[in-house]
Amino acid sequence: MSTTTDIVAKLWNLCNILRDDGVTYNQYVTELTFLLFLKMMEETGHESRLPSEYTWSKLARLEGMEQLTFYRKLLLELGDPTKITDPTVLAIFANAQTLLRKPANLKALTKAIDELDWFSAREEGLGNLYEGLLEKNAAEKKSGAGQYFTPRPLIDAIVRLMKPQPGEVIQDPAAGTGGFLVASDQYIKWNTDDLFELGERDAFFQRHHAYTGAELVPDTHRLCLMNLMLHGIESMVASADTLSPDGEALGKADLILTNPPFGTKKGGGRPVRSDFSITADTSNKQLAFVEHIVRALKPGGRAAVVVPDNVLFEDNIGRRLRTWMMDLCDLHTILRLPTGIFYAQGVKTNVVFMTRGTTDQNNTEAVWVYDMRANMPSFGKTRPLTTDDFAEFEACYGDDPYGKAQRSDTGEEGRFRRYTREQISERNDNLDITWLRDETDEFEERLTDPDDIAAAILGHLKNALEEIEALTEELDTEKTGTVE
Amino acid sequence: MSAERWSLPSTWCWVTIGEIADIVGGGTPSSKDETNFAIEGIPWLTPADLTGYLETYIERGARDLSEKGYRTSSAKLMPAGTVLFSSRAPIGYCVIAVNEISTNQGFKNFILPAELVPEYVRYYLISAKDYAESIASGTTFKELSGSRAATMLIPLPPLPEQRRIVAKLDALMARTRQAREALQHIPTLIEHYKQAILAAAFRGELTADWREETEYEPASVLLERILEERRARWEYEQLAAYEAKGRKPPKNWQAKYQEPEIPDTSNLPDLPEGWVWASAEQICDFITKGTTPKAGEMTASTGEIPFLKVYNLTHTGSLDFTVNPTFVSKETHEGFLARSKILPEDVLMNIVGPPLGKVAIVPDTYPEWNMNQAIVRYRTLPSMNNKYLSICLMSDSILSWATTQAKATAGQFNLTLAICRELPIPIPPINEQVRIVQLIQDAVQWLDIVLEEATSALQLLDHLDQATLAKAFRGELVPQDPNDEPASVLLERIRAARAAESNASKRKQRGKK
């Protein structure tokens, strides 16, 4: 683990070279991705996928303006569909550009990349290395990349509970940098001796057809493809908007794991899918993603989705969606996540676990809620989320990915409670359920890191703002656009 | 009814509360007799029970009445669903009984017919607090009598519309409540942040990057220079004093100089590279506090020499002389108060608290000032940055040394001059001092803005609630449904029912509770 951390740290420090050239954190990882891709093609013996004139050694050998010019040409050519047929290469270099202007900087980068300890990195898995980079980028608050990155301990906990199986089609309609897909794949490989236990045909399926998904933002899509490729996944995640008609083409899945983008929506526009009935009239993208997920699940298919609080309590369309969801699916478990675990500030989120029924009515009998939010340590830079933090929840959830393991209600003082469908109807199908006394104030008292305190301040401001925006929308029942 | 407060939709009408509800008061048994009250008896409510109470419903107050207490008072048991409205001290609290309940005489309670939704009436009464006060009698202490309460006008919508209004208001007010709760966390967090960032500053964390990229003169060298300045100053003043008396200084007069105390760093945290610990008296001229002259020698509002007290110091390091400005004469200043003269750029701090940490850098509004005994004066030597010292004094992490040393009697802290002089101050290289001051000032500026915004937002939320309620009772919050039975029909039914009931009770008149 330490070699990967070392390399990640060294690569991250290279960022200082690029900052000189006016490259921001956000652009940095993309810039690095192009170079790393070429280097990794060499390290993994895949250079046959590239035109022979554009290999890493050809680039690294050059110097000065000649190198920079060559590099610019390389980026253009590798993204040119008339010249390249390998879809992964094409997708990674689509519209690729470099922001470097000083030849000395490019040389420093290629030199530094060459000097890294690639042998050890290969041992550890280049994929882990790349994910380390992505995580570092996400943690840099200025980059805003945090919104594309779900913390690894959370992903791992969800994957452990949902138990992806070989042969299943696994979809992430908001793939970000590919965390869920990669984690699912690693889980399956771990349980099948790296796919060795599967026959030829099944192993081929795993590599080429098991994973589907979409990512809207081109730069993030690039990082996702790189991430998948480095983990030996050849499936393609589409560069598309799930909430557009392209989303219908994603097809059906056995398992959906996803963290759709949250935060207040800017700009107007509604998702325009002909197959959407409930959320056709809302600009709330989180609700729309939930409708997509329910529709994309095969009968008996299961899903785990990260959603913000408003999906659980919003009235009107939100309520209709939840009622519909609880009819078509067995919405068996909700995990209320603590605040401060995402790199985006102050969001309140939950994980909803559900199974699509074989019929369309009354599939939910009861909902189990685990409150991991009230009275939890304040997560942040000084107290990051770890796998252990989920241990209690995983024990309560039980062994059955469909949520049907034997479970017990821990009572009013405990964190895990069961609510019948009738009880939920009485609450008007509001799933924002709490019962523990909230002692937030005491926890905020104990924060010491200024950044954590600032995060708490911003979190409260953001909450207040969200309430007021929602209220403004409710006041103006005639208005249909988004609120700025 | 032709009286109205504003115009209503056609399916609504104005009524007076007396027309549609029974108005019931309350009472209190003698409090001298403990047996009038019980832990679990007859639920009973006073306006004090509702201070800070945000819920809609209530079961009981802090004290119940016993059977005896109930019988011997004019408290009256009312059914669940009664709307309880405080009619004095203050007017305007409103809750709904979830069970049978009685109240003291500070309430006018409304027992409603089936055609009125209690939650609707409650929302109206909450929005009509000013209106209720305008009807009440009295000037300083207003009280709403039963007969006046009966004249209060209330807009009556069709029954289903009452329910729709309640549902909508519930949803909207829940949101403002959440928003308010969120905002109320902010002031404490802001204080917290300020101390956290000060602490980080004095651990060198804010300037760690800067230190790596800059050449600096270590603070130990700076301190040497400061100590020389201190000595030189003392010698200068000594010579001046001798000259003023027309005498020559004696031999070895310089040996009289008292070196300031070096701080004991054994228990102090390690400092970053290039920093050094110094005691406050190492980096300042003679540190002293003031004293209070006789009352006759102080004047208010105008005078020759401004005289400072703790209320002129702030938590932000600026001096506020607008509060109760006091002055002393030049004579007192040069005589009785000569030792505690204050010049612009001096750093002042309070030594009596809590709260400690009130600091001010003296501006040049006046050329000379003076102070009382609750304030200590730090006059930094030329090579020391006084703004840096002032932010040290605002930081809990630095003052904690002083508070652990100080005597606390009856909850009050008193810092002695010895403590003020020996106070260890972490000294960075001079440029780093400047940088830290800048960073802290920027942070404090941001914090002030956030606090201001949060406070404005809180006020706006209150306005928002008022506006929402006003909209509701004009019939503009939810749409009217032409199929609803109009309020005029409801009203007829209510009147008929009350007339029948009043005839029936006249026949059965018994005059007992």
* Residue B334, helix vs strand vs coil: helix
Bond before A308 cis per omega within 30 degrees: no
Split at pLDDT 50, 70, 90, the class of A392 is: very high
Residues of chain B with pLDDT under 70: 1-2, 509-513
- Secondary structure element (H or E) that encloses residue B480, with its range: none
Q: Measured between beta carbons, which residues in chain A are less than 8 angstroms from residue B185?
A: 440-441, 444, 456, 460
> Which residues are registered as beta bridge partners of B376?
B289, B349
pLDDT at A346: 56
For B215-226, write each residue's pLDDT tens digit. 889 999 999 999
Rounded to whole angstroms, the Cα distance separating B344 from B368 reads: 7
Cα→Cα distances B42→A370, B81, B93, B381, Å: 40, 16, 21, 73
- Rounded to 5°, the CA angle B476-B481-B483 comes to 155
Residue B448's H or E segment, with its range, is helix B430-473
Name which of B275, B265, B269, B268 is nearest B207 in CA terms: B275
What residues have CB less than 8 Å from A193, skipping those under 6 apart? Answer: none
Q: Is B199 in Cβ contact with A448 (below 8 Å)?
A: yes
Burial A411-431 (b: 16+ CB within 10 A, else e): eeeebbbebebeebeeeebeb
Interface test with A, best of B165, B181, B190, B193 (most A CBs within 10 A): B193
Using CA atoms, how far apart are residues A55 and A42, in angstroms rounded to an integer? 7
Torsion, Cα of B425, B428, B430, B436 (10° steps): -90
* Interval A13-31 mean pLDDT: 74
Q: Are the C-beta atoms of B310 and B376 separated by less than 8 Å?
A: no
What pLDDT is recorded for position A131?
78
pLDDT in tens, B256-271: 888 888 888 888 999 9
What pLDDT band is residue A482 in, cutting at 50, 70 and 90? very low
Which residue from B182, B192, B450 is facing A463, i.e. has the nearest CB? B182
* pLDDT 10s digits, A96-112: 888 888 888 888 888 88
Closest residue by Cα to residue A370 from A334, A404, A403: A334
Greatest pairwise CA separation for chain B in angstroms: 116
- Residue A421 pLDDT: 96
Predicted pLDDT at A171: 97
Q: Are strands B102-103 and B44-45 parallel, antiparallel or unpaired?
A: parallel
Query: B166 or A449: whose pLDDT is higher?
Result: B166
pLDDT at A265: 44
Residue A344 or B10, more confident: B10
Rounded to the nearest 10 degrees, the angle between the axes of helix A2-20 and helix A25-43 is 130
C-alpha A171/C-alpha A293 separation (Å) is 9
- Give which of B175, B209, B458 to mutate to test A binding, by max A Cβ within 10 Å: B175
| ipTM (interface pTM) | 0.71
Contact B185 A460 (CB under 8 A): yes
Q: Are B176 and A467 inside 8 Å of each other by CB?
A: yes
Task: Dump pLDDT digits (tens) for A286-340.
Answer: 899 999 999 999 999 999 999 988 899 888 888 999 999 999 999 999 999 987 7
- Using one digit for the tens of pLDDT, what is the confidence trace for A230-251? 788 888 899 888 988 888 899 9
Q: Taking a C-beta distance cutoff of 8 angstroms, is the pair A3, A124 a contact?
A: yes
What integer pLDDT is reported at residue A120 of this predicted model? Answer: 67
Lowest mean pLDDT among A166-175, A425-434, A450-459: A450-459
* CA dist A22 → A31, A67, A74, A140, B69 (Å): 12, 19, 22, 17, 81
Under an 8 A CB cutoff, do B189 and A468 touch? no
Structure tokens at B185: 């966390």
With CA atoms as reference, the chain B residue closest to A440 would be B185
DSSP B261: P
**Is A471's CB within 8 Å of B186's CB?**
no
Q: Which two tokens stand for residue B404?
A: 């652990």
Query: Which of B168, B178, B468 has the CB atom closest to A467's CB atom?
Result: B178
Q: Is B4 exposed, middle or buried (0-12, 13-18, 19+ CB in 10 A)?
A: exposed
- Nearest chain B CA: its distance from A460 CA (Å): 5
CB A396 within 8 A of CB A360: no
Helical (H) or strand (E) element with A132: helix A126-139
Q: Point out the residue among A449, A461, A463 whose CB comes nearest to the CB of B196.
A: A449
Pair type for strands B288-289 and B375-378: antiparallel
Mean pLDDT over each residue of chain A, to the nearest integer: 84
Looking at chain A, the whole-number percentage of residues with pLDDT higher than 90 is 39
- The pair of structure tokens assigned to A379 is 């997560």
pLDDT at A479 over 80: no
So what's the pLDDT on residue A382? 61
- Burial group, residue B299, by CB count within 10 angstroms (0-12, 13-18, 19+): middle
b/e B387-418 (16+ beta carbons within 10 angstroms → b) = bbbbbbbbbebbbebbbeebeeeeeebebeee
Measured CA distances, B232 to B181, B227, B254, B257 (Å): 58, 9, 10, 10
Chain B's closest residue to A313, CA to CA, is B171
Spatial CB neighbours of B97, under 8 Å, sequence gap ≥ 6: B57, B58, B59, B78, B79, B80, B81, B82, B84
- Strands (E) across A50-174 are located at 170-172
Interface of chain A against chain B, CB under 8 Å? 315, 440-441, 444-445, 447-450, 453-454, 456-457, 460-461, 463-465, 467-468, 470-471, 474-475
Inform me whether the pLDDT recorded for A454 exceeds 90: no
pTM for this prediction: 0.62
Q: Do B175 and A474 touch (CB under 8 A)?
A: yes
Helix (H) or strand (E) holding B293, with range, is none
Is the confidence at residue A92, as pLDDT, over 80? yes
